[in-house]
Structure 1
Amino acid sequence: MVRIRLKRIGKKHRPIYHIIVADSRSPRDGRFIEKLGIYNPNSNPSIITLNIDNSISWMIKGAKPTNTVNSIFKKNGVLLKKHLLNGVKKGALTKEECYKKFNEWNVKNKN
């Protein structure tokens, strides 16, 4: 099973995490398939850089995020965009409406 999870890097007591796609059988800091972003909890507020499109494509392919990664995705709108794209696939929305709703949410939540 493929998981989207955190890989710990950084110094002692100063962790930084890579958000990666990996086989669930590989060790935490071991081999991975693709790097999706970086999560730095040391700063206030925490710094998150994320490739949203690649994250969504892996979730559509069946990769399951861990609880922590799921909360990071929720905070950055990955789950919302995936939900809207499923609506486009089912015919409930057009692509333009999907991107418009996501951009409105993004502007509202970045302030």
Structure 2
Amino acid sequence: MAVHLRLARTGRHKRPMYRLVAADSRKARDGRFLEILGIFDPLKEQGLPDVKQDRVLTWLHHGAQPSVTVRTLLRRSGLWKQFEAEKAAKKKA
């Protein structure tokens, strides 16, 4: 099973909110997911997601592939840099 980290849309009409979820790549966008990893509200001024950092890193280390949008959000929050540093340290050791 290929796991992807992606956004699932919630919220009402013209007031989007998104959940950052770990889901099977074959499931629908708003379909069944494995775990909720955070929430992203694009209408906030800050524009950063509230993320369970330890769980996101766990999924990434186990091979989950983030979507392009999720990767951008992880870069903005600094989590992607942390993941790559841990991966490089693990490879070096």
TM-score (norm 2): 0.90
The number of residues matched between the two structures is 91
Q: Secondary structure at the match of 1:62?
A: coil
Deviations 1:23-80 (A, max 9, x none): 0111111100011100000121224201111111111111100010000000111111
Unpaired runs of at least 5, structure 2: none
- 1:19-34 equivalence runs, <5 A: 19-34=20-35
1:49 aligns with 2:77: no
SS in 2 for 1:55: helix
Residue equivalent to 1:85: 86
More off after superposition, 36-45 vs 9-18:
36-45
Q: Which has the higher helix share?
A: 1
RMSD: 1.2
Q: Is the 8 A contact 2:48 2:76 kept in 1?
A: no
The whole-number CA distance in structure 2 between the counterparts of 1:4 and 1:84 is 19
Higher relative contact order (CA 8 A, sep 6+): 2
What secondary structure sits across from 1:37 in the alignment? Answer: strand
For residues 8-23 of structure 1, the aligned pairs below 5 Å read: 8-23=9-24
Aligned-partner Cα distance in 1 for 2:19–2:43: 14
TM-score after normalising by structure 1: 0.76
Structure 1 stretches lacking a partner, 5+ long = 92-111
